[in-house]
Amino acid sequence: MTQLELVIPLRAPAPGTDGRRLHPGLVPWRAAVCASTDPCLLLAADTRIVAVAEAAKEMLRLPVDVETARPRFLNAGLSFLDFTADANPLGEAELARLAPIQALQTDALEHGLMRLEQGGSHRTFDVIASPLHSPPQLDAIGSLAFVTAVGL
């Protein structure tokens, strides 16, 4: 599987050159996500996954070490599909419009559907994502996304 290197124009720089250092404003959000029983995940400003609730790991079938590896959301092993009958992989433009990424770009609450290929079947998820801020910094430092399976 080739890794997607989609360049998404974000306004806030990532802390550190490799995204390993967590923005201090995300520390309490990370703790909340890790303790949550709701399926949610936390992305840093550079789209790296920095926290995932156990329910979201199971629902999205993310690797157990996803928080340690901190892959970018689009490189976390998820196979994003369009909503056509053929279920084609999403192109770059469509990937950039996924709610957790879009919330970072627009600094606004984003809501949308996401279709994934999981073990030979296609599953749809309702996703709502909010940008997170740390004043006095004006740009989003991350996004918090809640995921709900649709039609199960």
Burial class of residue 91 (count of CB atoms within 10 Å of its CB; 0-12, 13-18, 19+)? exposed
pLDDT of 13: 46
- pLDDT the model gives residue 19: 52
Query: Domain residues of the chain, as ranges?
Result: 25-77+90-111+128-144
CA distance 28 to 44: 13
Question: pTM, whole model, 2 decimals?
Answer: 0.85
The correct answer on CATH 1.20.1630 for the domain covering 25-77+90-111+128-144 is: no
What count of residues does the chain have? 152
Per-residue pLDDT of the chain in tens (152 residues, 90 and over written 9): 444 444 444 444 444 445 568 999 999 999 999 999 999 999 999 999 999 999 999 999 999 999 899 999 999 999 999 999 999 999 999 999 999 999 999 999 999 999 999 988 999 999 999 999 998 888 999 999 999 999 86
What SS3 class is residue 60?
helix
- Return the pLDDT at 15: 47
